[in-house]
Structure 1
Amino acid sequence: MKLLSFAAVLLGAGVALSAPARAEPTEINFGIISTEASMALKQQWAPIFADMEAQTGLKVKPFFASDYAGIIEGMRFNKVQVAYYGNKSAMEAVDRAEGEVFAQATMANGQPGYFSLLIVHKDSDIHSLDDILKNPGKYNFANGDPNSTSGFLVPGYYVFGQNHIDPKTHFKRVVTGSHETNIMAVLNKQVDVATNNTTDFERVSAHLGDKIKDVRAVWKSPLIPADPLVWRKDLSSDIKKKVADFFFSYGKIGSSADQERERKNLEVLTFSGFKPSNDDQLLPIRQLELFKTRVKIESDAALSPADRTAQLADIDAKLAELQKKTASAN
């Protein structure tokens, strides 16, 4: 007679076998959107990641990609577990990469957010938004990453959408770049006008010195909510608590020397700290996306009147629903 396995004997005796407990992850990949060159971003975030490792016991590996989509896709395939995004890229991560907003940066200048800009060289003959709008085919334009809130979505709606202009046909040439790349393109007169934002303009100014005086803004947007931190929904509650506790206390708890050092680390990023948030902070961005879509539908000559009416009604219903959510969130 064959010998029964030990497990079979136990099972026959009514002893339940439980599967081995899954080991808690000890490492997370932290994604950073590509507002500047990766080397600059590494230098800015490295001290914070070092403190995060020391205070949470987690190994924190920075994850960089050449564009915003790379960070979103990294989170989608669980190559990134926590990330710093702009609002539009955070919306994409929430909608298609299992992301969830848990924190929002607080700005060092005391503002509840920041502003999108259109920038030109100081020698430019562009002095206002009207100069850009009234001269089709004259200027070269550096747009932002398609997943950038301040570099693409906000100017796309307030500058181009509301004025029924398609940047691809309005400008002589259109290129796409990060915020830092766009500043350098304007400085070097490679383009006539570029998108940017007040936060990254200030950040890049810190290492450009007097050169930044050769750049001026000709348009500033309405206020954009400060950027969020996003984690994957399926992170364990233990890791979520460690990560949240770290960010919410950073620069606020500990010895005076530690607090001062941590505040200086945050100031490099133009932040004063982080506060709790959730997906509701993306509601204004969702409204902007729908507004932009509505403008396109209104001006689409290829649509029949019936199709246009139906699509606009659908957009308006979605906007009304977002308005209700925004009202309840406030």
Structure 2
Amino acid sequence: MAVFIIALATAGCGSAKDQGEPFKVGVVPAQNKGDMQHAMDRLEKVLSHKLHRPVEIQVYSDYQGVVEAMKYKKMDMAFFGPLTFVQAAEKMDLKAVVTQLIHGSPYYHSYIIVPKDSPIRSIDDLAKNSTQLHFAFGDINSTSGSLIPGIALTKKGVFKNPNDHRFKKITYTGSHDITALAIQHHKYDAGAIDSAIYEQLVKDGKVDGKKIRVIWKSEKLFQYPWAVRSDVDEATVKKLQEAFLSVKDPAILEVFGASGFTKAANRDYESIRKAAKAAGRLEMK
């Protein structure tokens, strides 16, 4: 889920000397930054209770800041988009431990959406008329808002990269909710979006689903991983998993478009790693 990112800070988080220090948590929202604060206040309490230490959550502005913080061991756990996770895992040792459930399933899709009254009915129509269309991706580091739809459009022969494509124009909105609203209001002709976030935006009444149509749906994608650095001890990992799996608070779940959380592992993201490698999006160690 372009995406929220949450990170838990301080190196060696399971050691006794750190028990009085707070977890510093960073969030990069996939939706409006202001919509996150109430849920994050509640999440702080859940994590603090289970870890028996204070937790501080701060909203970050982009993916890269959190990746760099993890790289330099200023954080111990991060909630990554799948693409960002596999990219970061090429630079450092990370272990996926938890992911979210959507309607009880740990999967989501990439959608391509258009205004409801658009004559574009399919991805083939999109490719055929590309030179007349303004296409919107989300964040360039988003799995569902950039990587996966980009690969699909590459296969159709209309997109290689932001500087080499056959569209009239391409824009990276940076956010799934911005993409959805822009499509609803005809600012762009078509756009890529996370299916779970789109459905949550419609459910919450933030976008009008009657004014938008889905013309393409990707294969299943494993949901966003919560990953720890490899030096985080197993006792702490277990507490983190127990904390997230215990979350029932709708205020927390709804900002992720989630019905709950479940355990995850690095192998769950192998298909994304292969896709990123094929698209030239991995910087090897």
* TM-score (normalised: structure 1): 0.72
- Counterparts of 2:58 and 2:125, CA distance in 1: 40
Instruction: Give the match for residue 214 of structure 2.
Output: 217
Contact 2:114 2:189 in 1 (8 A): yes
Tell me if structure 2 keeps the 8 A contact 1:28–1:82: no
Task: State the 1:210 CA deviation.
Answer: 6.8
Which residue in the other structure is 1:206 paired with?
A: 203
Q: Give the letter for the 1:206 counterpart.
A: K
1:268 Cα shift? 4.7
Q: State the shift of 1:64 in Å.
A: 2.7
Aligned residues: 262
2:131 equivalent in structure 1: 137
SS in structure 1 opposite 2:231? coil
What amino acid is aligned across from residue 130 of structure 2 in structure 1? P
- How far, CA to CA, are the matches of 2:92 and 2:209 in structure 1? 37
Q: Counterpart of 2:267?
A: 280
Matched ranges for 1:102-251 at <5 A: 102-107=97-102, 109-157=103-151, 159-166=152-159, 168=162, 169-177=165-173, 178-208=175-205, 211-251=208-248
- Any stretches of 5+ residues in structure 2 without a counterpart? 1-15
- CA distance, structure 1, for counterparts of residue 194 and residue 150 of structure 2: 14
Match among 32, 35, 40 for residue 40 of structure 1:
35
Structure 1 Cα separation of the partners of residues 58 and 20 of structure 2: 17
Structure 1 residue 293 displacement after superposition: 4.4
Residue 266 (structure 1) aligns with:
253
**2:12 maps to what in 1?**
none
Distance 1:271 1:151 in 2: 18
| Counterpart contact for 1:118–1:219, Cα < 8 Å | yes
Shift of 1:291: 3.3
Q: How much has 1:229 moved relative to structure 2?
A: 0.8
**Structure 1 residue 38, shift from structure 2 partner:** 1.5
Within a 5 Å distance, the mapping from 1:289-300 to structure 2 comes to 289-293=276-280
Structure index of larger Rg: 1
**Shift in Å at residue 84 of structure 1?**
1.6
Amino acid at match of 1:229: W
SS at structure 2 position matched to 1:137: helix
Per the TM alignment, residue 266 of structure 1 is displaced from its structure 2 partner at its CA by 2.2
In 2, Cα distance between equivalents of 1:42 and 1:131 = 41
Higher strand share: 2
Shift of 1:134: 0.6
User: Alpha-carbon deviations, 1:199-220, whole Å to 9, x = none?
Assistant: 1102222333573321111111
Give the distance between the partners of 1:176 and 1:170, measured in 2 at CA. 16
Give me the whole-angstrom Cα distance separating, in 2, the residues matched to 1:249 and 1:44: 15
* TM-score between the two structures when normalised by the length of structure 2: 0.82
Relative to its length, the structure with more helix (as a share) is: 1
Task: Structure 1: state its 5+ residue gaps.
Answer: 1-20, 252-261, 295-330
Between 67-76 and 220-229, report the one with greater CA deviation.
67-76
Give the residue type in structure 1 aligned to 2:154. Answer: G
User: 2:8 — aligned with what?
Assistant: none
CA distance in 1, matches of 2:236, 2:60: 24
CA RMSD of superposed structures (Å): 2.4
Taking a change above 3 Å as real, the CA distance of residues 79 and 123 of structure 1, as seen in their structure-2 partners, is farther
SS in 2 for 1:81: strand
Decide whether the 8 Å contact of 2:135 with 2:188 is kept in 1. yes
Check conservation: 1:115, 1:198, Cα contact below 8 A.
yes
Name the SS of the counterpart of 1:288 in structure 2: helix
Give the secondary-structure state (helix, strand or coil) at the position aligned to 2:208: helix
